[in-house]
Copies of this chain bind each other. A is one copy, B any other.
């Protein structure tokens, strides 16, 4: 993968919906944005973290807000261009490389569109190794960096530049600006040098998303079941097989929040599973006991096609396989757990690694 082709982009869209743990909105909207930008502005080259030069300037670009809103008002090229332009103006730094702030739905492919529009490469890596709901939940924050600027644009022609006191203020102010803008926006934050990127970025996640997407598309022809292969690659676990029953979902504080209840089928007959989400799935319980929790990843796959189902896409009656993967080691540190562990999200649990929870559960 040196230049992204249409198949790469489709595969990234699918794989990112898995790594995005249910968040990030309809991946096909991201695919559409990236492809239309490439068609208009030309192809996008992928650069690995190793290939970055220390003095190059790397800028993340992403969508912010409720994915439920984003899919209702798809960003224009003008809106996609504005935050990078504003960031360059306020920082005085020309962007050499665009990067995804997270791997998840639309946010894996918005930076591809922004890279195409600026005729610069995209970095194969991100600052979460998954998707998280809040702006300060990035490896830069874990490494003690604060976002010097956050630039935000809407589809009305408004642009806002924040110089926040710290990462938490960047989240609070950018979130409220996004709500004022109608619930979704395009954002650039945490510009970094190539040198810093080598230290903080989780490398290879765009390629990983592409690989997983390609795998899952093979569903019907593969000898070994693609979900099994995927779990193998990600060191993950199949948690539950069930049918979606009651789903509570609402837009609250600029997020899509809710719970999804599943009734077990086949090997999980007579069991129940509940997923709790704030844009992304953050906690999974089986029969009332936690089985996976943030920062570890939780994904819902269609039982028949193997395709990931986002929190927006989940409907009553869907037959699904719920899987989980360990988070990148950066998230399993004290600061990682403090930043994005269950207690931060107000769940009354100390973080327990997925592997331990699964072992405890299966030994009962």
Contacts and interface: CB of A to CB of B under 8 A. Distances in A.
A176 interface: yes
Interface in A130-189: 156-165, 169, 172-173, 176-177, 179-181
A156 B90 CA distance: 20
A180 to B, nearest CB: 4
A164 B158 contact: yes
A364 interface: no
A86 interface: yes
Contact of A162 (B90, B160, B163): B160
A176 to B, nearest CB: 4
A159 B150 CA distance: 11
A89 interface: yes
Interface in A259-285: none
The complex is assembled from copies of this chain, and their number is 2
Given A89-B90, A90-B89, A90-B90, A173 B160 contact: yes
Contact of A159 (B156, B163, B177): B163
A176 B165 CA distance: 17
Nearest to A165: B157
A114 B156 CA distance: 32
Contacts of A165: 156-158
A162 B86 CA distance: 11
A179 B162 CA distance: 15
Contact of A177 (B86, B89, B156, B173): B173
Given A176-B177, A179-B176, A90 B161 contact: yes
Nearest to A82: B163
Contacts of A180: 172-173, 176-177
Nearest to A172: B180
A362 B158 CA distance: 49
Nearest to A181: B173
Given A177-B173, A177-B176, A86 B163 contact: yes
A7 to B, nearest CB: 39
Contact of A163 (B160, B163, B173, B176): B160
A346 B90 CA distance: 39
A169 B160 contact: no
Interface in A90-111: 90
A165 B163 CA distance: 20
Contacts of A160: 160-163, 173, 177
Contacts of A90: 89-90, 161
With most chain B CB atoms within 10 A of its CB, the pick from A89, A157, A162 is A162
A78 to B, nearest CB: 12
Nearest to A155: B165
12 contacts: A89-B90, A90-B90, A156-B165, A156-B169, A158-B162, A158-B173, A160-B161, A160-B162, A160-B163, A161-B163, A172-B180, A176-B177
Pairs of residues from A and B, 10 with the lowest C-beta to C-beta distance, nearest first: A157-B165, A161-B161, A176-B180, A159-B163, A156-B165, A160-B162, A158-B165, A158-B169, A173-B180, A176-B176
Given A177-B177, A177-B180, 10 more contacts: A90-B90, A90-B161, A156-B169, A158-B165, A158-B169, A161-B161, A161-B163, A173-B180, A176-B177, A176-B179
